[in-house]
Amino acid sequence: MELGHADNRTIAAISTPPGAGGIGIIRISGGQALPILEKIFTPARADCPFETHRLYYGRICNPADAKLLDEVLAVYMQAPRTYTREDVVEIHCHGSFLVLQSVLELVLSQGAQLAEPGEFTKRAFVNGRIDLTRAEAVIDILSARTRKGVDLALEQMSGKLFCEVDAMRATLVEVRALLETAIDFPEEEIEIADHRALYERIFNDVYEPLENLIARAEEGRIVRDGVSIVIVGRPNVGKSSLLNTLLQEERALVTPTPGTTRDTIEEYIDISGIPVRIIDTAGIRDGVEEVEQLGIKRAKESINRADLVLFLVDGSTPIGDDDRELFRSIAHKPFITVINKCDLELKITPDPGLPMIAQPLLISALTQEGLTDLKQLIFKRLTGGREQWQEEGCSPNLRHKAALAKGLEALGRVCDGLQSGLTNDLITIDLLACFDHLGDIVGETTTEDVLDVIFEQFCLGK
C-alpha cells in the first residue's frame, strides 16, 4: 500500500467510554475542526483567539437558538503536531452521556461526519505519523487485561518491532543492490556479489532474527488472547473454594453439600501477566437430577475447550472410582494434579500406578498453602517450561507471525540459492518476496481489505 493522505472529510466522535463520569471528550479531526469549534464555542474571555495546544474555558451553545449545552474546556491542535497530523479539536464536557450526545449532534450538524471505528488512528497511519505495528499496539493497549499485556503493547508502540523489521529490510535492500549490480556487470560478478559472504550476512542479520521473532509470537498470543483453565473434580473436593482463593473473593458458593455448583462459573485472573479465564465446573458424578446433569454436560464441554485442566483431588479421602473415571475423561488434555485439603490428615499418597496422582501438587484452598507454587506451575505449563518472561524483545501478533513465516520461507530459498550457485536474478526474486512480506508487517505493502479488518477492531473515537 502506498501511503497517501486521508480524505478531506472532517470527522467527530465521543472518545471516552459510555457511562457516567467526571469528564467526557469529543474529538474532531479535519480541515473544518477549528471553524466548527468557533461556531459553537464561546470562550469565557471575549476576543480570545485560539492558540494551538492551549486549553480554553467556555460554553457550548447551539448557534441557531443560543441554547446552552454545557460548560466545557476546549483545545485546538494545529496540524501537523496532532494525533492524526490534521487539525484536531477536543471538547472536554461533563461526563454525562446525554450531554456528550447533544454536543456531538451539534458538531455533526455543523458539517462534521461521524467517525468510523478506528478512523482517527487510521488517519494517523495513512498520514505517516505511525506505522501499522504502532497502530495495532493501540488496540492492544485498549484491550490488555494484565500489566504484562500493557507493557508488551507499549514496547510495540515505542517502535521496537518496527525497528527490528526495518533493520532486516535495510539489510535486504543492501544485498539486493549488490546482486543487481552483479547482474549489470557480469564480468565482475565474483567480486561484487560473493555468495558465501552474502549468505553469512543474510543468515546472521535476517534469517536468525526472523526465527527469533516467530518464536516470541507465542508469548504475545498468550498475553493478548489469554488462556482458559478448568477446575475439575468430583463433588465436594474444593473446586469452588480453590476458585475463590485464586480470585481472593467469595465468587462461588461453598457448602458441605455435594453438587452446590450446578453450572460453570467463569472469571479472569492474572497469573504472572497471563490473562487466565478460570472456570469452576459442576462436580462430575452419576445419578443426579436433571439440573445438575446439565451442569455436568457444560463441565465436560469446558474441559474439551480448555488449554489446561486442574484435576482436583480431595487429599483427606482415599482415591475412589469416581476419581478414576473422571481422570479418564480429562487424560487427553494437558493437566496438573492438585491434591487439596493438605491441612487435614492425608489419606492418599503419590503412586506411579495411579497417573492421576503422580507428581501431584499439595495445596490447601482453606489456608492458601501451596497457592504460590500452583501459580508458578501453571505459568510454567502455559509457557512451555519457562520460569519467567524474557526481559527484552517484542512479541508479534498472529498477523505479524503469518507474514514473518512467509518471509522466512522466501528467505530460506534465498539462502539455498546462494549456497547452490543459483543465478543472481533468480535469487533476487525471492529476496524481493521476503522484503514485501516484511513490508506487510509495517504497513507498506498491506492490502486495503486487511487494513479495514485491523481498524474495525478499534472502538469509536480512537
Kindly state the helix (H) or strand (E) to which residue 108 belongs, with its residue range: helix 97-109
DSSP alpha helix (H) spans, 158-263: 160-184, 189-192, 195-202, 208-225, 239-247
pLDDT tens-place string over residues 177-216: 988 888 876 665 456 678 889 999 999 999 999 999 998 8
Determine the Cα–Cα distance for residues 416 and 414; give it in Å rounded to an integer. Answer: 5
Estimate the crossing angle of helix 398-420 against helix 424-442, to 10 degrees.
Answer: 170
| pLDDT at position 446 over 90 | no
Weakest-pLDDT range from 107-111, 269-273, 389-393: 389-393
- Cα distance between residue 300 and residue 20, in whole Å: 41
End-to-end C-alpha distance for the chain, whole angstroms: 22
SS3 state of residue 393 = coil
What pLDDT is attached to residue 208? 95
Question: DSSP states of 181-202 as a string?
Answer: HHHH-GGGHHHH--HHHHHHHH
Give which of 115, 86, 151 is closest to 25, Cα–Cα: 115
Amino acid sitting at position 233 = G
Long-range contacts of 375-382 (CB under 8 A, 24+ apart): 375/271, 375/272, 376/272, 377/336, 378/229, 378/271, 378/276, 378/308, 378/336, 379/271, 379/272, 379/274, 381/308, 381/334, 381/336, 382/222, 382/227, 382/271, 382/274, 382/307, 382/308
Compute the mean pLDDT over every residue in the chain, rounded to the nearest whole number.
Answer: 86
Higher pLDDT, 68 or 450: 68
CA 147, 149, 150, 154 torsion: positive or negative? positive
The pLDDT of residue 2: 40
Q: According to the model, what pLDDT value does residue 281 have?
A: 78
Kindly indicate the confidence band of residue 262, based on its pLDDT and cuts at 50, 70 and 90: very low
| Lateral strand order in the sheet of 11-14 | 41-43, 54-61, 68-77, 88-95, 21-29, 11-14, 113-114
Distance CA 45, CA 36 (A): 19
Alpha carbons within 13 angstroms on the beta-carbon side of residue 212 total 15
| pLDDT at residue 3 in the model | 43
Which amino acid would we find at residue 123?
R
Provide the pLDDT for residue 296. Answer: 63
**Average pLDDT for 118-134:** 93
Which band of pLDDT confidence, cut at 50, 70 and 90, is reported for residue 253? very low
Q: What is the pLDDT of residue 250?
A: 64
Per-residue pLDDT, 191:
60
Q: Per-residue pLDDT averaged across 156-183, rounded?
A: 91
Q: What is the pLDDT of residue 129?
A: 94
Cis-peptide into 35, omega within 30 deg: no
Query: For residues 321 and 345, is the Cβ–Cβ distance under 8 A?
Result: no
Q: What pLDDT digit, counting tens, does each position of 69-125 carry?
A: 999 999 999 999 999 999 999 999 999 999 999 999 999 999 999 999 999 999 999
Mean pLDDT of 287-304: 63
Query: What SS3 class is residue 137?
Result: helix
What pLDDT sits at residue 83?
95
The reported pLDDT for the residue numbered 180 is 86
Give the rounded percent of residues in the chain with a pLDDT score beyond 90. Answer: 53
Nearest by Cα to 403 from 435, 379, 373, 380: 435
The pLDDT of residue 249 is: 66
Q: How far apart are CA 271 and CA 278, in angstroms?
A: 11
Residue type at 129 in one-letter notation: R
Q: How far apart are CA 216 and CA 160, in angstroms?
A: 13
pLDDT digits (tens, 9 = 90+) for 314-348: 989 888 888 888 888 888 899 999 999 999 888 88
Structural domains of the chain in order of their starting residue, each with its CATH number: 11-128 (3.30.1360.120), 142-222+397-442 (1.20.120.430), 230-380 (3.40.50.300)
User: Is the Cβ–Cβ distance between 259 and 237 less than 8 Å?
Assistant: no
Task: Give pLDDT, residue 353.
Answer: 64
Q: What pLDDT does residue 459 have?
A: 80
- What is residue 64's predicted lDDT score, i.e. its pLDDT? 92
More confident residue, 158 or 351: 158
